[in-house]
Amino acid sequence: VYYPTHGENLSFLPLEGPVDTHVTLQAKFTVKEGKMEEFKKCSADCIAATRTKLIKYYGFYSRDNIVRSRKGYENADGILAHIGDIWEPLGKMIKLSELELQIHGTKEDIEKAREPVSKIVPQATFWVLREGAVTCAVDKKTEKKEKEAKKDEEPAAKDVAPKAQPEEAKEGGEAKEGGEPEEEEAAD
């Protein structure tokens, strides 16, 4: 199914779920001739230097002299903290390659990241996530909140009315196996 997206609000999409607000960074490094081994060392140093807890996923993959990196963050603060963590090896990687950088996120996160990132990578492009985007990933915190909300919706045990007794029991006799009440013995 194709949904036209150019200049349109996507809130009409038939999707339901938590709103997607995370920020992604996609980098394409075209590594200069003879610099791949040094570049690989720098990328390993980036991973080792990462300290921020606002990162959701992070990885490198490559083919020939092209190395790509895909990262996800809670928000723009995650990108900025991560850049701070990896500043030294990232600077070396930029010198060893030509870098194309894309950042995707909410309008607020893009506005927050645009200036500091553009100072480092002037040719970076920024993409604002349109309304209506949802995430299918459910983290443990969200799952716990949803369970608690369902629990709050269930009536408490004291609010539940007791089950009605069968008619036979109301009339004074006990039900036999067949369901018929026994006659009470006459008092002497």
Taking only the tens place, the pLDDT of each residue in 26-50 is: 999 999 999 999 999 999 999 999 9
Long-range residue pairs from 52-56, CB within 8 A, at least 24 positions apart, any chain: 52/78, 52/81, 52/82, 52/85, 54/78, 54/81, 54/82, 55/82, 56/22
HSE-up (13 A, CA, CB side) for residue 74:
9
What percent of the chain has a predicted confidence (pLDDT) above 70?
61
| pLDDT at residue 130 in the model | 78
What structural domains and CATH numbers belong to the chain? 23-139 (3.30.70.100)
Q: Are 34 and 58 in contact (CB under 8 A)?
A: no
Question: What backbone torsions phi and psi does residue 51 show, to the nearest 5 degrees?
Answer: -120, -25
pLDDT at 53 over 50: yes
Close Cβ partners of 80 (under 8 Å, ≥ 6 residues apart): 112, 113, 116
**pTM value surpassing 0.75:** no
Token pair, residue 105, equals 């996120």
Q: Are 67 and 97 in contact (CB under 8 A)?
A: yes
HSE-up (13 A, CA, CB side) for residue 53:
0
Token pair, residue 90, equals 């990232």
Higher pLDDT, 1 or 67: 67
| pLDDT at residue 148 in the model | 75
Taking only the tens place, the pLDDT of each residue in 68-100 is: 999 999 999 999 999 999 999 999 999 999 999
Nearest alpha-carbon partner for 19 in 106, 103, 102: 106
pLDDT at 173 over 60: no
Return mean pLDDT, the chain: 77
What average pLDDT does the segment 105-124 reach? 94
Taking only the tens place, the pLDDT of each residue in 156-169 is: 545 544 455 545 44
